[in-house]
Amino acid sequence: MKEDFFKYQAPTTPFASGLEISHASGSKIYDKHGKEYIDMVAGVSALPLGHSHHAVVKAIQQQAEKYLHVMVYGEFAQEPAVRLCKMLSNSMPDPLEMTYLVNSGTEAIEASLKLARRITGRSQIVAMHNAYHGNTMGSLSLMDYEERKAPFRPLIPNIKHINYNCLAHINQITTSTAAVIVEAIQGGAGFIKGDKRWFQQLAARCKEVGAMLILDEIQTGVGRTGTFWYFEQMDIVPDMVVSGKGLAGGLPIGALTASTQHMEHFKVAPMLGHITTFGGNPVIAAAACATVQEIISRDLMNAVMDKELRFRESLQSKHIKEIRGTGLMLAIILHDDRFTSQIVDECRERGAIFFLLLFEKRAIRITPAYTVGDEDSTKAINILLEVIHKFYD
């Protein structure tokens, strides 16, 4: 299988491990040779309940027996999608009550940019330095990492960058700005948390000049930071919230949530302002409903915070400069980046899966399922610490 993987499946990097997967359950992945791996990444924050959770699998099976895809998005009322949109509305403060379901986080980002320009009649988008919102054309345009952008230019014009967490830069948001888009916690930059005062002044400035505040909760949302949405901790209400990753418990999904007043711009002038064939897919929506219900009913957000404390207590090493993030969106930052990739590779060889971050080369990602057991997490962290000391001592 590995040979065919490299021969027929398009690559994203020269360094893929090509680990040959047999099956996965909970926080364990098994390769075709029967070797067990403790998964401390959860599909890059996409599996809040772990692999093949029984509630998610049951929801998928039950819906698949009823119907799969029946019509393009927005034409027929399909119970799983309607129920999911209602659940998202119930999880957010007014006026965030209407959701557009799509197929991935980056597609939801694209929709949010279109909607902001349609609402305001303006074109300028303000994004953050070191931001990452996805890799499609509009989302890529929001990045300021020229090495990744240059081969694909020209990109979307009129994008301005300011510093995350910088109060002095807020005044660069003006009446020419259609939207400010910001990650709730900067992911690729190194799991950098937003300052509450900065977020509140950012929201106030957007309101003052009539710009839309778009909050990217693709990675932070659905309970990963200890509240269902990270913006709850900041005491703000954005104009739009983008979610994805873990929302459907391991199936591809994206969602854009805004007020009814704003979202209705997609249906007139022009009609079909944003369309998708498979958005709101009933099987995926059913999986998402089951995921959200499990997280809420089992009080997993409190468990997330307890597990964060255990990780912080366990991750003690002179070679770890700091631990960034919150909840189960954590990253250790080493003093340098000499061995980061080798550490991740050797941990995998020893049976523990960790991963890297996009821009911060000293970082090692720790984003397990909310259901990861103490025994598994302790074993994985011990492997990580042993490997770090092997390279640095």
Q: pLDDT tens digits, residue range 18-56?
A: 999 999 999 999 999 999 999 999 999 999 999 999 999
- Categorize the per-residue pLDDT at 269 as very low, low, confident or very high, splitting at 50, 70 and 90: confident
Residue 259 burial by Cβ neighbours in a 10 Å radius (0-12, 13-18, 19+) = middle
* Concatenated DSSP letters of 69-86: --S-TTTS--HHHHHHHH
Same domain, 35 and 79: no
Q: Do 67 and 23 fall into the same domain?
A: no
Mean pLDDT of 362-374: 98
Residue with tokens 């591809």: 252
Q: What is the DSSP string of 191-236?
A: SEEPPHHHHHHHHHHHHHHT-EEEEE-TTTTTTTTSSSSTHHHHT-
What 3-state DSSP class applies to 139?
helix
What the block records as the tokens of 35 is: 């070797």
Cα gap 263→265, rounded to integer Å: 5
Same domain, residue pair 43 and 131: no
- Which residue do the tokens 């219900």 mark? 293
The per-residue pLDDT for range 157-216, each reduced to its tens digit, is: 999 999 999 999 999 999 999 999 999 999 999 999 999 999 999 999 999 999 999 999
Q: Are residues 310 and 196 in the same domain?
A: no
- Can you give the residue range of the structural domain that contains 124? 55-297
pLDDT at 295: 98
- Tell me which of 393 and 124 has the higher pLDDT: 124
CATH number, residue 138: 3.40.640.10
Q: Are residues 113 and 205 in the same domain?
A: yes
Helices (H), 54-127: 54-66, 79-90, 105-120
Average pLDDT, the chain: 97
Query: What is the band of 94 on the pLDDT scale with cuts at 50, 70, 90?
Result: very high
Please list, in sequence order, all residues whose beta carbon lies within 8 angstroms of the beta carbon of residue 287, skipping any fewer than 6 positions away. Answer: 56, 59, 60, 248, 249, 250, 251
pLDDT band at 313 (very low <50, low <70, confident <90, very high): very high
The domain boundary, picked from 245, 270, 297, lies at 297
Give yes or no for a contact between 292 and 99, defined as CB atoms under 8 angstroms apart: no
pTM of this prediction?
A: 0.96
- Per residue in 343-362, pLDDT (tens digit) is 999 999 999 999 999 999 99
The span from the CA of 87 to the CA of 278, in Å, is: 20
- Residues 260, 153 within the same domain: yes
Q: Among 297, 331, 350, identify where a domain stops.
A: 297
Six-digit token string for 154: 């020209």
What pLDDT was estimated at residue 311? 98
**Do 330 and 242 fall within a single domain?**
no
Q: What is the mean pLDDT of residues 256-283?
A: 95
Largest distance between two CA atoms of the chain: 64
DSSP state of 296: H
204-248 per-position pLDDT tens digit: 999 999 999 999 999 999 999 999 999 999 999 999 999 999 999
Q: Tell me, yes or no, whether 209 and 304 share the same domain.
A: no
Q: Give the span between the Cα atoms of 374 and 84, in whole angstroms.
A: 31
| Number of domains forming the structure of the chain | 2
3-state secondary structure of 315: coil
Q: Residue 154, preceding bond cis, omega within 30 degrees?
A: yes
Residues 182, 186, 189, 193: is their CA dihedral positive or negative? positive
Name the residue type at position 12.
T
Q: What percent of the chain has pLDDT over 70?
A: 100
Looking at the structure, tell me whether residues 25 and 165 fall in a common domain. Answer: no
Last residue of a domain, one of 254, 271, 297: 297
Do 25 and 158 fall within a single domain?
no
What confidence score (pLDDT) does residue 273 get? 87
Per-residue confidence (pLDDT) for residue 255, from 0 to 100:
98
Q: What is the CATH number of the domain that holds 324?
A: 3.90.1150.10
Give the separation between CA 387 and CA 385, rounded to whole angstroms: 5
Phi, psi (rounded to 5 degrees) for 324: -105, 160
Residues 225 and 237 in one domain: yes
The token pair at 48 is: 């809040």
pLDDT over threshold 90, residue 340: yes
Clarify whether residues 47 and 116 are in a common domain. Answer: no
| Token pair belonging to 127 | 């994004």
Per-residue confidence (pLDDT) for residue 265, from 0 to 100: 96
